[in-house]
């Protein structure tokens, strides 16, 4: 009943698709489409988030032929912090992802809310060593600190949808958007804006050198 969907990551200037984020959707025969806002917390509560993520990784590998066979093509997979414990993620990636040796660039997306408490920094270093990029998801909504960003060394910050939505409408939050963009640039971390839905947001982000955009404006 679970299906994989891909949301394209788009080059802000050329509108070329430079990668995807893999998203899981639950199509239940009786209830219809069940929102991830409902089933992800349930899966976490029942210790099913790790097997569910394993399924996502396997299905992505099984369907890898759909994607451009390019080293520059990014494939983002959402991973829970609990998956980092006892190196489970490294073992799963070795067994499922690296065993199939896809050429595409794997990006592990970790939600900022989770990252601070649970993540073992040795696992993060091991991921980097294996050439996997680390993205901090929903950036701006958690309790980040500069020292934490320095320790984690993420390759990508994904600006939360709420800050994209604030562009041109919400003075306080759009100030935060500018600060996040400046922070990413200062620390030399790649920025991806999530939840881009209007041309105005897209223009603004492009003008402020956010190079990769994602949202319903594109797909």
The residue range among 43-51, 108-116, 117-125, 206-214 that interacts with Mn ion, by the rule CB under 5 A, is 108-116
CB 95 within 8 A of CB 125: no
Can residue 112 be called a binding residue for Mn ion (CB under 5 A)?
Answer: no
Q: What is the radius of gyration, based on Cα positions, of the chain?
A: 17
CB 76 within 8 A of CB 135: yes
Give the number of other Cβ atoms within 10 Å of residue 135's Cβ: 24
Pick one of 92, 112, 114, 137: the residue that binds Mn ion (CB under 5 A). Answer: 137
* Complex with Mn ion: residue 77 or 168, whichever CB lies closer: 77
* Complex with Mn ion: residue 108 or 123, whichever CB lies closer: 108
17-28/74-79 β-pairing = parallel
* Complex with Mn ion: residue 92 or 109, whichever CB lies closer: 109
Q: Tell me how far, at minimum, the Cβ of 22 lies from Mn ion, in Å.
A: 9
Q: Tell me how far, at minimum, the Cβ of 105 lies from Mn ion, in Å.
A: 15
Site string for Mn ion, 45-84 (x = CB under 5 A): ---------------------------------x------
**48 closest CA partner among 37, 39, 61, 38:** 39
Pick one of 75, 77, 90, 109: the residue that binds Mn ion (CB under 5 A). Answer: 109
CB 88 within 8 A of CB 55: no
* Complex with Mn ion: residue 203 or 216, whichever CB lies closer: 216
Q: Tell me how far, at minimum, the Cβ of 29 lies from Mn ion, in Å.
A: 27
* Complex with Mn ion: residue 78 or 202, whichever CB lies closer: 78
Which residues lie near Mn ion (CB under 5 A)? Answer: 78, 109, 137
């Amino acid at each position: 009943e679970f299906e994989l969907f891909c949301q394209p990551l788009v080059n802000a200037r050329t509108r070329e698709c430079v990668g995807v984020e893999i998203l899981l959707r639950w199509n239940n025969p009786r209830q219809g489409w069940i929102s991830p806002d409902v089933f992800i917390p349930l899966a976490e509560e029942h210790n099913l988030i790790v097997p569910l993520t394993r399924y996502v990784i396997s299905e992505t590998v099984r369907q890898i032929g759909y994607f451009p066979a390019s080293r520059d093509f990014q494939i983002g997979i959402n991973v829970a912090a609990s998956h980092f414990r006892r190196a489970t993620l490294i073992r799963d990636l070795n067994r499922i992802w690296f065993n199939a040796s896809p050429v595409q660039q794997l990006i592990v997306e970790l939600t900022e809310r989770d990252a601070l408490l649970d993540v073992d920094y040795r696992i993060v270093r091991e991921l980097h060593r294996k050439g996997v990029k680390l993205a901090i998801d929903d950036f701006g909504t958690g309790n980040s600190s500069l020292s934490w960003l320095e320790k984690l060394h993420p390759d990508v910050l994904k600006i939360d949808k709420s800050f994209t939505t604030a562009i041109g409408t919400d003075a306080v939050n759009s100030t935060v958007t500018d600060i996040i963009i400046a922070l990413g640039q200062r620390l030399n971390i790649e920025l991806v804006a999530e939840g881009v839905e209007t041309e105005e947001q897209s223009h603004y982000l492009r003008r402020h050198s956010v190079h990769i955009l994602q949202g319903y404006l594109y797909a």
